[in-house]
Amino acid sequence: MTTTKLTAGALAGIVLLVLPGCSAPPKQALIESADEKCRTITQRFAGDLAYGDGIGADDSPRIRERVTLLQDLAGHARKMPKPETGQAELNDWLTKLDTYAAELRKMSGMMESPQVADLLRAMQAGIALESAKEVGQAAKRFGFKDCTKTDNWEHIAS
């Protein structure tokens, strides 16, 4: 083997050893990854999963899809390496995200029940709106950017 080939092989080995150390710290990686998912959620909630004029039985499939996206986001964040700081804030955000998804599940069940009065549906929609806002506030405390933009997640066209 020539000296050039040996040097190239050694350099390639060093690069492979150094590259894993160049990745973002766990908290930054989690923020970037979750923010990307939040951008998609925000786009979908304003697009194909948007409510029309009010919320009714025909919105139930949209609500279930919203829950699926939120659960995927929470599961994804939980599988990421633990952040070096801010674990309490992350746990708070995840708890609020779980609560929001649970409120949407309740709302979906109400939409499908003919016995539930419009007033109760409206009250549940208000609870979901407050839960969405709390998710955004908790996301901000952890350091997320796109995951803080929850103001329009429960927007109802009027």
pLDDT (tens digit, 9 = 90+) per residue, 62-104? 999 999 999 999 999 999 999 999 999 999 999 999 999 999 9
What's the rounded mean pLDDT across residues 49-53? 85
The model's pTM: 0.77
Residue 149 CA to residue 85 CA, distance in Å, equals: 22
Own/partner long-range contacts of 51-60 (Cβ < 8 Å, ≥24 apart): 51/154, 51/155, 51/156, 51/157, 52/157, 53/156, 53/157, 53/158, 54/156, 55/107, 55/111, 55/121, 55/125, 55/156, 56/111, 57/111, 57/112, 59/111, 60/108, 60/111, 60/112
What's the rounded mean pLDDT across residues 141-148? 96
What's the rounded mean pLDDT across residues 130-154? 93
Q: Cβ distance 144 to 135 under 8 Å?
A: no
Examine the pLDDT at 47 and tell me if it is beyond 60: yes
- Tokens 């060093």 locate to 14
Q: How many CA atoms lie within 13 A of 76 on its CB side?
A: 17
pLDDT (tens digit, 9 = 90+) per residue, 2-41? 554 544 444 444 444 444 455 789 999 999 999 999 999 9
Q: What angle do CA 65, 88, 146 make, to 5 degrees?
A: 45
3-state SS assignment for residue 67: helix
Q: Which residue has the higher pLDDT, 51 or 29?
A: 29
The kind and range of the H/E element at 96 are helix 87-112
